[in-house]
Amino acid sequence: MKYPFLTVICLLFTQITQAELRGTGDLGIIIEREPAAIQIVNTSRQLALNKITQLGDLSHASVVYSRDARYAFIFGRDGGLTKIDMLQDKIAKRIIQAGNSIGGAISQDGKLIAVSNYTPGGVKVFSTDTLELVADIPALYAENKLSKVVGLVDAPGQKFIFSLFDAGEIWVADMSNPSQPVIQKYKDVGKQPYDALLSPDGRYYIAGLFADRGLALLDLWSPEQGIKRILPDYGKHDAKLPVYKMPHLEGWAVAGHLMFVPAIGQHEVLVINQNTWQLVKRIPVIGQPVFVMARPDGRQVWVNFAFPDNANLQVIDVKELALIKSLTPGKAVLHMEFTPRGEHVWVSARDDNRVVVYDTSDFSELARLPANKPSGIFFSSRAYKLGL
């Protein structure tokens, strides 16, 4: 055989050039609940690239991304924490870190991953490189009781903030020295904080209260002022409807100086002036809101709903503070996710086994992707946002 070495080099070069190179900027993950799996998708081409299985219980799974967006960290309901390599479509590492977990966050510097746990109650913090345990923060209150932890977010200053559902407390963990977290505890914030948000600028942490009126606000620029209750009189004369699904407050929308909040136990979206923390308007909607999410430019707010109205989506025009569109993507709409600049929105319809993509300018349907019981949709642009 003539020139065998050159032949091998040419073959290798041909294989490399034919291989599909991939960036991470337009990648994302769709959670499939049954059987548990994820789809890695390309948001520009609106197609699925690969599927990864053996991920445990994904019935309430959420995802955060490393700062380079190469790795996704999946928080499973069974306490699983899984690191996914988005470029090689494979599990980089997986651990079981608790008995029942409810989400997590990644630190400002991208070196720490925190998980909020129901069982045992508390927060565990891991190295993003190795998933080795760095800190264990049990949510102790009263006489050595452990509280469920909810509303865990990252915040500026290398901090994690979270709420204790059973204790009615908000804790701020300064992780500047990861092996020795410094915890600031705010007590008596209200009964049963069930979820929380961080404003996009990282200044305000706001927890919703399931068994109390109003909301609990912590100003991270002035933490010495403690917790402030806002909207304390909202809905006190309204009859509460049965709550079939808790609102998810990381989906609260902030558009300019306005916040759009799902009203718990009501068929309304509340509009709050962030400068005064006063109620501006109550917008009637078709059902009990679950996610209330702003398009990246803040002009539109998209709302999905709890059972029995969960086949619907409604869109609010922020300028007019009024509904402008209703859509029916399919049965059991669980989640929405905007492309990074907001021209499209992806919507999961669990009971119709599909994800529907809409154009947000004219509301036309662009694509349908098959998926097994899809729920959460998480794009890699989350790597660059606070509080997710």
Q: Tens digits of per-residue pLDDT, 178-194?
A: 999 999 999 999 999 99
Q: Does residue 167 fall inside a structural domain?
A: yes
Q: What is the mean pLDDT of residues 80-106?
A: 96
Give the sign of the dihedral formed by CA 368, CA 58, CA 36, CA 385.
positive
pLDDT at 17: 41
Instruction: Give the percent of the chain with pLDDT over 70.
Output: 92
- Model confidence band, residue 11 (pLDDT cutoffs 50, 70, 90): very low
Q: Does residue 173 fall inside a structural domain?
A: yes
Distance CA 299, CA 315 (A): 10
In this predicted structure, the answer to whether residue 286 has a pLDDT above a threshold of 50 is yes
Distance CA 73, CA 56 (A): 14
Residue type, position 278, single letter: Q
pLDDT at 109: 96
Q: Does residue 103 fall inside a structural domain?
A: yes
Q: Does residue 259 fall inside a structural domain?
A: no
pLDDT higher for 18 or 337? 337
Cβ-contact 50, 39 below 8 angstroms:
yes
pLDDT at 5: 52
Q: Does residue 170 fall inside a structural domain?
A: yes
Q: Does residue 128 fall inside a structural domain?
A: yes
Phi-psi region of 153 (alpha: psi -120 to 50; beta: other; left: phi over 0): beta
Structure tokens at 370: 């098959």
**DSSP conformation class of 37:** E
Q: Does residue 136 fall inside a structural domain?
A: yes
In this predicted structure, the answer to whether residue 120 has a pLDDT above a threshold of 90 is yes
Domain range for 188: 98-243
pLDDT at 51: 97
pTM for this model (two decimals): 0.92
- What is the rounded average pLDDT for all residues in the chain? 92
Q: Does residue 58 fall inside a structural domain?
A: no
- Model confidence band, residue 15 (pLDDT cutoffs 50, 70, 90): very low
pLDDT at 1: 47
In this predicted structure, the answer to whether residue 99 has a pLDDT above a threshold of 80 is yes
The domain spanning residue 142 has which CATH number?
A: 2.130.10.10
Query: Which one, of 27, 24, 37, lies nearest residue 375 by Cα?
Result: 37
Structural domains of the chain, count: 1
The H or E element that residue 98 is part of is none
> Cβ neighbours of residue 362 under 8 Å, at least 6 residues apart?
none
pLDDT higher for 261 or 139? 139
Structure tokens at 190: 């209200």
Distance CA 116, CA 114 (A): 7
Q: What is the mean pLDDT of residues 91-96?
A: 98
Q: Tens digits of per-residue pLDDT, 292-336?
A: 999 999 999 999 999 999 999 999 999 999 999 999 999 999 999
Count Cβ atoms below 10 Å from residue 157 Cβ, excluding itself.
12
The H or E element that residue 143 is part of is none
